[in-house]
Amino acid sequence: MHLYEVRNRTVVVVDILRATSCMVTAFAHGVESITPVANLDECRSMKTKGFVISGERDGKKVEGFDKGNSPFEYLGDQVKGLKIAFTTTNGTQAIEKSKEAKEVIIGSFLNLTTVAKYLLLGENNALIVCAGWKGRVNLEDTLFAGALVEKLKEYLGPDCDAPLAAQHLYNLAKNDMVSFLNASSHVRRLNKLNIHDDIKFCVTPDQYKVLPKLKNGVLLV
């Protein structure tokens, strides 16, 4: 990420499995705000300030936390009006690193077209920040980046080869993303946690039209 200009851009933060998919699902069901928090202790301390605390480390819910990292925990009437403090292995760290950007928005397959339209109407160059796995490339975030490039290709030009590679991979995978991802290291890691339904849900495009956006360190729609 240090190789890319962040400052004057609209940054799309992506952590498909599962942080940004959870965030989009939560806002679609009426959550009031999500405060991304980089570390566990800080997140835990927010419980006393009226926040629901959500968190995951290495794919698992954190002990003592109210919610974990499955999008199914953020569905339905139960989440309406909640203020959530959220910390995850990769996703919230990616938001932290993007804070110098002109705008930070949250992307997932669930709000893919909404994100694409927002970028097209906006005046800033876009930077898609794939959270990956502990800093390394992962396939699912790359596929989302490719899907976004595919939607924007008539209007925007990539300035390096990473978007092109992502676009090729997305076109290869798009007809059956779940099978394509089954070989990936992160999905193999997550499959051990029995989250096959989560994965299927997280790669389903355009379920929601919300666009979470960072304002003074807090995500709102």
CB of 160 to its own copies, least distance (A): 5
Token pair 């396939």 is found at 139
Q: Rounded CA gap, 101 and 40, in Å?
A: 24
Q: Which is nearer to its own copies, 123 or 161 (CB)?
A: 161
Nearer to its own copies, 195 or 210 (CB): 195
Pairwise CA distance, residues 173 & 141, whole Å: 13
Partners of 29 in the β-ladder: none
**Where on the chain is the footprint of its own copies (CB under 8 A)?**
3, 133-139, 142, 158-162, 164-165, 168-169, 172, 183-186
Strands 52-57 and 83-87: what pairing? parallel
Closest CB 78 distance from its own copies, rounded Å = 34
Min CB(173)–its own copies separation in Å: 8
Q: Which is nearer to its own copies, 20 or 138 (CB)?
A: 138
**Contact status, residue 8 vs residue 193, Cβ threshold 8 Å:** no
Residues 6+ apart with CB under 8 A from 159: none
Give the separation between CA 169 and CA 163, rounded to whole angstroms: 10
Nearer to its own copies, 121 or 183 (CB): 183
Smallest gap, in angstroms, from Cβ of residue 220 to its own copies?
A: 32
